[in-house]
Amino acid sequence: MKQTVLITGASSGIGRATAILLNEKGYNVYAAARRVEKMDDLEKQGIHVLPIDVANDTSIISALKTIKEEIGMVDILINNAGYGLFGSLEETPIYEARKHVNVNLMGLAKLTQMLLPAMREAGKGIIVNISSMGGKFGEPLGSWYHATKYAVEGLSESLFLEMKPFGVKVIIIEPGIIRTEWSGIALDHLIKMSGKGPYKEFAANSAKMLTKMNDPKTGGTEPEIIAKTIFKAIRAKKPKLRYAAGKGAKMAIFLRRFMSDGAYLRLLEKTMNKLANNSLVIL
């Protein structure tokens, strides 16, 4: 029988690319997102389109009930839903931060929690959590985003150890710079939170970098690269805990691991300034 895959945040970017690839590879794919109106073409390809808001427990329960009634067990969960909340810690309202944490972390945890009993009892299953190279370092005006990705890293590593005796695999994907809607959403939040006031110079530099991420000539990796990495990971007999892929990911993570805090942070600051100064975008 085909393995059933549930992918959150599948209306665009990495989630969408992964849904298309896994459907082509013969998986029974449920592509879940809040914006199902953007997914008509996925449905035409034979992909099941499912409305879900990972920040809403009722929505999660309803989505899983639909899958159970239609197909039964979810064999592979890909927790991809998330966004980038950028802006200074000082200027970002706590209610915005709570919303961010609910989507990027708590929704992931709730959905995983609800699927684990069936996987554990069956002695099989795969949980794939989409983190980021940003789960390894911080940057100015990115405190909340990086906090959620650090948390996903720690949660996933702990879950890996908990699930290993039961035969359930846990995989962390750490994308680098990827060309998706993510950067535009992050830019909107950045301007809203810190486009004016004491952090406006930081915001100007960050805005230039976020804009540059989607530049066809100098921007990031296409999301299909991450989709291929996910496919490789779930097909592996003994998958690694972490897979870094996409522009800058492996190098940034390698340097962070082996450089001192001071040396790495100086390098990061210099790199960010250089990237910003090479862009013509003005906030």
Catalytically annotated residues = 11, 131, 145, 149
Alpha helix locations (H) across 164-260?
A: 182-194, 200-212, 223-235, 249-258
Q: Cα separation of 97 and 115, whole Å?
A: 26
Strands 48-51 and 28-33: parallel
First to last CA, the chain: 53
Partners of 173 in the beta sheet?
130, 243
Q: Cα separation of 215 and 210, whole Å?
A: 10
Structure tokens at 242: 């972490």
Q: Cα separation of 139 and 202, whole Å?
A: 10
| 94 C-beta neighbours (distance < 10 Å), count | 8
> Using N-to-C axis directions, what is the helix angle for 249-258 and 261-277, rounded to 10°?
150
